[in-house]
Structure 1
Amino acid sequence: MKTIETKELTLKVKNFSKRKETEIYSDIFLAAGHRWRIMVYPNGKRGIPGFLAAYVQFVDWSTKPWGWTVPAIISLTLVDQLNGTSSVRDCSATNFHGNSDNSWGFNYLVSQTDLHDPQKG
Structure 2
Amino acid sequence: MSSSSKRKTEPAHYLLKIESFSLLAEARSMKIESDVFEASGHKWRLELYPNGNGEESGGNNISLYLVICDPESFPNGWEVCVDVSFFVYDHESHRYAIFQDINGDGNRTRFNESKKMWGFDKLISLESFKEVENGYLFNDACVFGVEVFAVSEYAQNDRCLSFVKPPAANNTYTWRIDNFSDVTEEIICSDVFKIGNVKWKLSLYPKGNNAYRAHALTFFKTTFASSLY
Q: TM-score band, normalised by the shorter chain?
A: 0.7 to 0.9
Q: Quick one: which amino acid aligns to residue 33 of structure 2?
A: Y
> Mind listing any 5+ residue stretches in structure 1 that lack a counterpart?
1-5
Answer yes or no: is 1:96 the counterpart of 2:108. no
Answer yes or no: is 1:26 the counterpart of 2:53. no
TM-score normalised by structure 2 residue count: 0.46
Contact 2:85 2:98 in 1 (8 A): no
Corresponding position of 1:56: 66
Are residues 78 and 45 of structure 1, via their aligned partners in 2, closer, same or farther at CA, if it must alter by over 3 Å? same
What's the CA shift for 1:81?
2.9
Aligned length: 115
> Mind listing any 5+ residue stretches in structure 2 that lack a counterpart?
1-10, 102-106, 136-229
Q: How does 1:1-121 map to 2 (within 5 A)?
A: 7-19=12-24, 20=27, 22-47=30-55, 48=57, 49-87=59-97, 89-91=99-101, 92-98=107-113, 100-121=114-135
Q: CA RMSD in A?
A: 1.9
Instruction: State the distance in 2 between where 1:26 and 1:84 align.
Output: 23
Are residues 46 and 64 of structure 1, via their aligned partners in 2, closer, same or farther at CA, if it must alter by over 3 Å? farther
Instruction: State the distance in 2 between where 1:59 and 1:77 align.
Output: 20
Instruction: State the distance in 2 between where 1:83 and 1:18 align.
Output: 25
Corresponding position of 1:3: none
Are residues 61 and 105 of structure 1, via their aligned partners in 2, closer, same or farther at CA, if it must alter by over 3 Å? same
What's the CA shift for 1:34?
1.1
TM-score normalised by structure 1 residue count: 0.83
Per-residue Cα deviation, 1:31-90 (whole angstroms, up to 9, x for no partner): 122110011111111412110011110011233222001111110011123442224522
Highest Rg: 1 or 2? 2
Contact 2:87 2:97 in 1 (8 A): yes
Q: Quick one: which amino acid aligns to residue 86 of structure 1?
A: Y
